[in-house]
Structures are given as C-alpha cells and as structure tokens.
Amino acid sequence: MFGLLEIEDLHVSIGGRMVLKGINLKIDRGENHALFGPNGCGKTTLLNTIAGVPRYVVERGRILFKGKDITHMSMDERARMGIGIAFQSPPAIRGLKLKDLIKLCNPEANPEKVLKEMNFLEFADREVNRGFSGGEIKRSEMAQLLAQRPELVMLDEPDSGVDLENIKLIGRAINKLTEKDTKPSKRIRSGIIITHFGHILDYISVDKAHVMLEGTIVCTGSPREILEQIKTRGYEGCARCLCPT
C-alpha cells in the first residue's frame, strides 16, 4: 500500500545552493503532519518543491504522489492530480477578481459559498491579494483551497498575522479540507502544515510533527510533545534531546 505522499532522499537547490539535504517523509491518507523549524531550515522549500515551483531544483531523490513519480512533473499537472498549496506571500494579480480566481480553481465551485465560509464574501470583487492584509491573504488562500479540494493540502504558516477569531475560522477550514469530520478509516485527504508558534494546533488535529534543521528532518514524533520541547529548549535543544546521534 502506497502512502499518499512519499519523499525519498530529496536534495533540492535554489540558485546553486543546496537547501534540502536528504529529506525522507511519508504521509498516509487521512493524516495531518506539522513541520517545525527555525527560519531558513527549508520548510517552505520542501512545500514549494512538492508543489513543483520551477526554481526549486531537485538534485537527487524523488517524490511520489499516489504512487506516481511526480519529481519532474509541472506545477499545473501536480495541482490537477490533487496537490494544493496555500502560499505564505502570494503575489497580487491585477484585474483578476477573487471570485473569478475561485472559479478558475474549480469551475464547479460556488465562490459565494466558499468565501462565506471564510467570512470573506465582501472581498469577492476585489483584485486577488491587492492591498490585502496578512490575515486577509490567509483567508483568501483558504477559500481557494476549499474550492480546489486537493487531496494533499499544504499550508505555509496559515496562522501568521491572523487574529484569534480568524485562526478559529482557518482551523475549521483545515479540518474540513482534511476531512476531520469523517471517520478516520474513511479519510482520503491529508495535510502538511508549517507553523512557527503552533497557535493553529489549538484548533486542528495533527497526527505527526517533524522538526527540520538545516535542510533535514531531525526528529519526528507527537506534535504536542515536540512543540513543548521547542518552547522550553529551542529548536537545537529539541533536536539534541529527542534525537541523540
């Protein structure tokens, strides 16, 4: 049985500099994984590489999605296969209304419905991300994913810059996207979530957490436990304590 996503010995460079240095990761259907790690450790690089952003060059290793090698597949093909990503700082697009982008994500989606779910209906006619605050960008990204309904949801800091009330809203959307309202055995969708402070973890259930340091995964375990260690000992301390080499 294949996992939904399997990453083997992944090495990735950006502009000639090696950023990921041998990542191994398996995500089964129905699982939510959290990624922790200091700035610059490669978390965003990992998500963008899975999404297929061209400037992230795979130097070694491979990525399997639903059992298929997607290492050199284009971004749009991966999206159509069921990979979705909420970017940390997406660009603004002139002249494209948010409601129209939602239709482009999925022609069958109801823009009004997904925007309402994110309490974001008043932004339907606004140009995508133009003049949006940090928190508004997150809600816009979530609305797009709700329309796209990917099988693998990747969220790059969905809680940064978001007030408490909206964190709850985003948490609800993540739970919906990863089918937390469905029996565990029936779930087919999975998630990877990057979070710095773990605020979002109060609202979503995460099955596993990984700590990344300098381009590798140094530790994997229970999300709560790992977060506690990071809070008390910092990333380095956490890595030394849990994973003595």
Partner 1 sequence: MSDIAERARKALGKKATYGPDVDLEKYDVEAKPHEEIQRLEEIPEDVRKAALGVGVTLEKEVGGAYIQMDQTPVVARSSTEGIEVLDIATALKKYDGLRDYWWKLVPVDQDKYTADVALHPPAGYFLRAKRGAKTIFPLKSCLYLGQTNLNQRVHNIIIAEEGSELHVITGCTTPSHVQRGLHLGVSEFFIKKGAHVSFTMIHNWGREVEVRPRTAIYMEEGATLSNNYICLTPAKTLQTYPKAILDGKGAVASFNTVLYAKEGHLDTGSEVVLRAPGCSADSITRAVSVGGEIITRGKMVGEVPDVKAHLECVGLILSEKGRIDSIPELDGRCGGLDMSHEAAVGKISELELEYLMARGLTKDQATGVIVRGFLDVEIKGLPESLREELRRITQLQELHGGA
Residues making contact with partner 1 (CB under 8 A): 51-55, 74-76, 79-80, 84-85, 87, 90-91, 93-96, 101, 104-105, 127, 144, 148
Shorter beta-carbon distance to partner 1: residue 142 or 213: 142
Shorter beta-carbon distance to partner 1: residue 96 or 242: 96
Shorter beta-carbon distance to partner 1: residue 80 or 231: 80
Closest CA to 152 of 70, 227, 216: 70
- The CA distance from 202 to 52, in Å, is 30
Shorter beta-carbon distance to partner 1: residue 16 or 95: 95
Shorter beta-carbon distance to partner 1: residue 15 or 244: 15
Strand 5-14 to 57-65 pairing = antiparallel
Closest CA to 145 of 209, 97, 101: 101
Hey, is 127 helix, strand or coil?
strand
Q: Give the nearest distance from C-beta 193 to partner 1 in angstroms.
A: 17
Which pair of tokens denotes residue 201? 């973890």
Three-state SS letters, 56-103: CEEEEEEEEECCEECCCCCHHHHHHHCEEEECCCCCCCCCCEHHHHHH
Q: Give the nearest distance from C-beta 126 to partner 1 in angstroms.
A: 12
Q: Give the nearest distance from C-beta 120 to partner 1 in angstroms.
A: 17
Q: Give the nearest distance from C-beta 24 to partner 1 in angstroms.
A: 24
Q: Give the nearest distance from C-beta 46 to partner 1 in angstroms.
A: 15
